[in-house]
Amino acid sequence: MSSAARGYDAGKKINGRKRHLLVDTLGLVLLVLVLPANLQDRAGARQLLNKHFGRPTRRLVKHIWAEGGYTGTLLAWALATRRCTVEIVQRTAAHTFKVLLRRWVGARTFGWLNRYRRRSRDYERQAQTGETMVYLAMIRLMVARWASQ
């Protein structure tokens, strides 16, 4: 499902690829999908959920929190085909700070991953290598936490 193609998302001003993550409630990565940036977020989310539910060792996902870029037909599609609900956590008004339930979980995971040099930019030529780098960064983070306990 991954692609070596690159694109440009004019809305988010992203050149190259976008990383779609499925994380648990702690922010630990369950699944990564790297796609061209010109693909809409909703289409990327569909591919991510299809890949997740197509695996034999999948975890049962009943409820998903997502950001505003995933609004639209994804909500009804996920309920009809995957039997899981998608709740969109919208941002508050601009330039005001308010803690929103579960919105920070995904953003925090991206922050953790950006600490690794190879993850901070799109260095990889193949999208699958980019996915592997996300998994390696998360493994390194989890082992470091386990060792410090």
Q: What is the pLDDT of residues 10-40, one digit of tens each?
A: 677 777 788 889 888 888 888 999 888 888 8
- What does DSSP assign to residue 59? P
Question: Which residues form the domain of 56?
Answer: 7-148
DSSP percent split of the chain into helix, strand, coil, nearest 5: 40, 20, 40
- Residue at 1 is within a domain: no
Categorize the per-residue pLDDT at 139 as very low, low, confident or very high, splitting at 50, 70 and 90: very high
Type of residue found at 120:
S
Instruction: Return the top range by mean pLDDT from 7-11, 81-85, 95-99.
Output: 81-85
Q: Please give the tally of structural domains in the chain.
A: 1
Rounded to a whole number of angstroms, the CA Rg of the chain reads: 16
Could you tell me if residue 30 is inside a domain? yes
| The dihedral formed by the CA atoms of 133, 71, 1 and 5, expressed in degrees to the nearest 10 | -70
Q: Is position 2 within any domain? A: no
Strands lying side by side in the sheet with 14-23 = 7-9, 14-23, 29-36
Single pTM value for the model: 0.79
- The answer to whether the CB of 48 falls within 8 A of the CB of 71 is no
In whole angstroms, give the CA distance from residue 66 to residue 88: 5
Looking at the chain, the whole-number percentage of residues with pLDDT higher than 90 is 6
Q: What is the CATH number for 81?
A: 3.30.420
